[in-house]
Amino acid sequence: MSDCLFCKIVAGEIPCGKVYEDDEVLAFHDIHPFARVHFLIIPKAHVASLADCTTGHGMLLGKMLLLAPRLAREQGLDAGFKTLINTGRGGGQEVFHIHIHVFGGGDPVKRS
Ligand code: AMP
Ligand code: ZN
């Protein structure tokens, strides 16, 4: 997807504050954090949203979700963290390349 912001980050065309990378997944700091720690976990392959996932994406989604506690701990969120997946315009999604928000730290986050 040549016009997708997160695909451009995956391609290295736009810089990011990398948290984690492997052959399938990238995690990087959110540019407008709403907590002391706030990063995004994305698949390298373009998938627009959770609503566009099929059973074939199950392993990838599971891998992304299981990375959240590991990376959160590595970012110092020992006391816990929030996860958020905005889906579709009605769900507040602004970047249409699926991503899991992981955030926390500072005062307890009561809501997103
Ligand atoms: P969403 O509303 O769930 O689609 O969230 C998109 C998130 O992407 C927002 O929290 C933005 O702050 C974040 N974002 C947008 N552009 C960048 C960027 N270049 N690098 C890092 N995060 C970004
Ligand atoms: Zn994309």
pLDDT at 2: 74
Phi then psi for 18, rounded to 5 degrees?
Answer: -70, 135
Name which residue sits closest to atom 13 of ligand 1, judged by CA: 30
Range of the domain at 69: 5-104
- Averaged over successive runs of 10 residues, the pLDDT of the chain (112 residues) comes to 92 98 98 96 98 98 98 97 98 98 79 54
Is the CB–ligand 1 distance for residue 15 below 6 Å?
Answer: no
Q: Is residue 13 part of a domain?
A: yes
User: What CATH number has the domain bearing residue 49?
Assistant: 3.30.428.10
Question: How many A from CA of 106 to the centre of ligand 2?
Answer: 31
pLDDT at 112: 52
Q: Which two tokens stand for residue 4?
A: 């997708």
Name which residue sits closest to atom 19 of ligand 1, judged by CA: 31
Q: Are 56 and 40 in contact (CB under 8 A)?
A: no
Q: Tell me if residue 42 falls in helix, strand or coil.
A: strand
Q: How many domains does the chain contain in total? A: 1
Q: Are 107 and 80 in contact (CB under 8 A)?
A: no
Phi then psi for 50, rounded to 5 degrees?
Answer: -60, -30
- pTM recorded for the entire structure: 0.95
Q: Is residue 66 part of a domain?
A: yes
pLDDT at 108: 58
Q: Is residue 111 part of a domain?
A: no
Which residues are known to be catalytic?
A: 99
